[in-house]
Amino acid sequence: MESLGIIVAFYLLSAIAVGGAIGVFLASDLIRALAFLVLSFVATAGLFLTLSGDFIAIAQILIYAGAIPVLIVFAVMLAPLAGRNNGNGLYLVPGLALGAAVAVTVAFVAVDVEWNELSGALLAERDFATTANAIGNALVGRYVLAFEIASVLLLAALIGAIVLVREDEAT
Amino acid sequence: MSSTLRQGRRRPATRVPPGLMIVGAVFALGFLAANAAIGYVVIDGRLDGQWYDIRDLGFAVQELKAQLDAINDDQPGFLDDIVGQHWMSYAVGALLGAIGILSFIGGALLVLIWVERRLIGRMQIRRGPNRVGPYGLLQPVADAVKLIQKEVLTPDGADRILFLLPPAIIFVPMMTAWGPVPWAPNMAYLDINVGVLYLIAVSSLTTLAVFLAGWSSNNHYALLGSMRTVAMMISYEIPLSIALLSVVLITGSMQLSEIVQWQADHNLWLIALLPIAMVTYFFSSTAELNRTPNDIAEAESEIVAGFHTEYSGMKFGLFYAVELGNALLVATLVATFFLGGWSLFGLEEWIPGYLILFAKLSAAYFVLVWLRGTLPRFRLDQLMRFAWQYLIPLSLFNLLIVAIEASLLARWDAPGLVTLGLFTVVNWGAAYILFRDWARRIGYQPDAGGPRRAELTQQVGGIEAAHRMGTAT
């Protein structure tokens, strides 16, 4: 945190992200909740940008603001009851409990960890041009096993989806 | 019989007055002299990196920023502590670039509507707009004034807030996607390292705006149109991304300026090296654009106007402007990725890079208009099948080939003419075999009964025949 501008940006983006998340919770219309969700995701991408994580910010927009809403849109279009005014709070209490648990965990980690703070010359020393190269090298270098497992998992999911929706040719 | 038809009316020859000819000759001589002077300065190397080097407006901006930084250092203001040092050069640079992009798109939108309608008119053997102003040039202005005057309706039962948002939201991706486009070696507004990814991410935001527009209208046609759009966009995003991935693989960078620099260094446009990626990208982009071969999302004969059925007045105007702006953007990106961007085999030393890019994007845009003017509309299932059964397997094959070639290129220490020449031959062979045989594999049969060659409408009679019969007005 060097100048005031980035602090203002941090609080502004955080406010938008948290406000969007609250909007998701309060909106009774599923599509409105979706719009709030996208707002929250975009603000989170902005937070990543203030941390110079360009790749992760773009990935956030691509996956969370671009792809996840489409998934929800498909759910809305395919499910008969997911139309307007679906504000029946069947899972209100378990949802609140789960959310509180996640929030407490994250808060505990954030407070408990000794964050390695760098600023000024120390930060400039560790500076690298882009995170894309570093992430790519890490993915096919140190974490190649996890990467391969994830790709096998995705392939299995893909094949499973094809098998599930395949029309039976005998009938 | 067709040879006896007159092919067009001869115009009476017009005489140019001698005074005008003299003025014209003086202007031409002055133009040549100016060009010779510029040529002298360029050969001399006196222009390189100077602020008045108009071949690359980036130099002028850099000079301006340096001046502003000097002023800032001399007289520190209270904003230096709050916003950061050298805030003035940041602000001015950002504003200049944004104004440049905005004015380019705004000007292009005004002209493009006319160009597109006139071109399609030519292709469909009619005149196109020719009443408002000279050659109908003021038609877009008249259209805009008409749209502004119209009432902006909100249908009964529409979700009012969500109905208001989409015309504004949909403008954002279209404008921001222009950021990373390099107009000259130093002339890119937002030259980020993850440029390609940024483009894909930003263009995927359009989907949601389109869906919100269709959903909130409370209209069956609008909802159908937006459902079609969502299905089509996520289908065609896959081949589009894979095509761009092969570009990234071979050039080894996601930065747009570096991709263009690679093409300039190797004197090779990527259209020669990656024909499959080029075709896949171009076609998938037309799907993302909702333009005519793929405009099922707003098919007039089926679902009125698709997702923007209920929008009237300037709200509809915004959708229309975004559609045109996106078409121009796709033309620019095709020119940047596959046609060499600002490079032209060394001629960029002489001609400003942005003019070269503009010429290339105009050519790409002409092809887009050509497709729109000639091809009929796909059916929804045909379009989906084309994406999933044809374009995606082809682009995956292409990605495999390109990945092998990219790793060869990194390891094989041979002159570029050998490696890239070999890859070009291999890729064109692969493109020919894949395009033909995969189409046959999924059940395409060449039409045996039709005419072998296309017959021109003029040979059959065309507008002249209609004139003689007295049916054309």
Just give the CATH number of A4-165.
1.20.120.1200
> Does B185 lie in the same domain as B133?
no
pLDDT tens-place string over residues A114-138:
877 766 666 666 666 667 778 888 8
The average pLDDT across B274-299 equals 80
User: Cβ contacts (< 8 Å) between B207 and chain A: which residues?
Assistant: 66, 69-70
The average pLDDT across A138-159 equals 91
> Does B252 lie in the same domain as B174?
yes
Q: Which of A44, A70, A76, A137 would you mutate first to test chain B, the one with the most B CBs within 10 A?
A: A70
* Tally of domains within chain B: 2
Which residues does B176 contact at the CB level (< 8 Å), separation at least 6? B202
Output the pLDDT for position B318.
86
> Per-residue pLDDT for B3 more than 50?
no
Q: Chain B within 8 Å of A54 (Cβ-Cβ)?
A: yes
Output the pLDDT for position B10.
60
Percent pLDDT > 70 in chain B is 86
Grouping H, G, I as helix, E, B as strand and the rest as coil, residue B81 is helix
Distance CA B436, CA B430 (A): 10
> Does B326 lie in the same domain as B272?
yes
> Does B203 lie in the same domain as B87?
no
> Does B140 lie in the same domain as B260?
no
User: Cβ contacts (< 8 Å) between B234 and chain A: which residues?
Assistant: 67, 70
Domain ranges of chain A: 4-165
User: Cβ contacts (< 8 Å) between B230 and chain A: which residues?
Assistant: 70, 73-74
Contact state of A62 with B204 under an 8 Å Cβ cutoff: yes
> Per-residue pLDDT for B275 more than 80?
yes
Percent pLDDT > 90 in chain B is 7
> Does B266 lie in the same domain as B184?
yes
Q: What angle do CA B282, B284, B286 make, to 5 degrees?
A: 70
Contact state of A73 with B211 under an 8 Å Cβ cutoff: yes
B426 within a domain of the structure (yes/no): yes
> Does B213 lie in the same domain as B348?
yes
Q: Chain A within 8 Å of B161 (Cβ-Cβ)?
A: yes
Grouping H, G, I as helix, E, B as strand and the rest as coil, residue B151 is coil
Does residue B246 contact residue B398 with C-beta atoms inside 8 Å? yes
Q: Which domain holds residue B276?
A: 156-444
CB pairs < 8 Å spanning A and B: 78
**Residues 101-160, chain B: which have Cβ within 8 Å of A?**
159
Last residue of a domain, one of B121, B149, B177: B149
Contact state of B234 with A70 under an 8 Å Cβ cutoff: yes
B467 within a domain of the structure (yes/no): no
Instruction: Look up the pTM and report it.
Output: 0.82
> Does B307 lie in the same domain as B166?
yes
Last residue of a domain, one of B114, B149, B184: B149
Secondary structure (DSSP) of chain A: --SHHHHHHHHHHHHHHHHHHHHHHH-SSHHHHHHHHHHHHHHHHHHHHHTT-HHHHHHHIIIIIIIHHHHHHHHHHH-TT-SS-----TTHHHHHHHHHHHHHHHHHHHHHS------THHHHHT--S-HHHHHHHHHHTTTHHHHHHHHHHHHHHHHHHHHHHPPPS--
Q: Looking at chain B, which residue has its C-alpha nearest residue A33?
A: B162
> Per-residue pLDDT for A1 more than 50?
no
Q: Mean of the per-residue pLDDT values for chain B?
A: 81
The average pLDDT across A50-67 equals 85
The average pLDDT across B370-399 equals 85
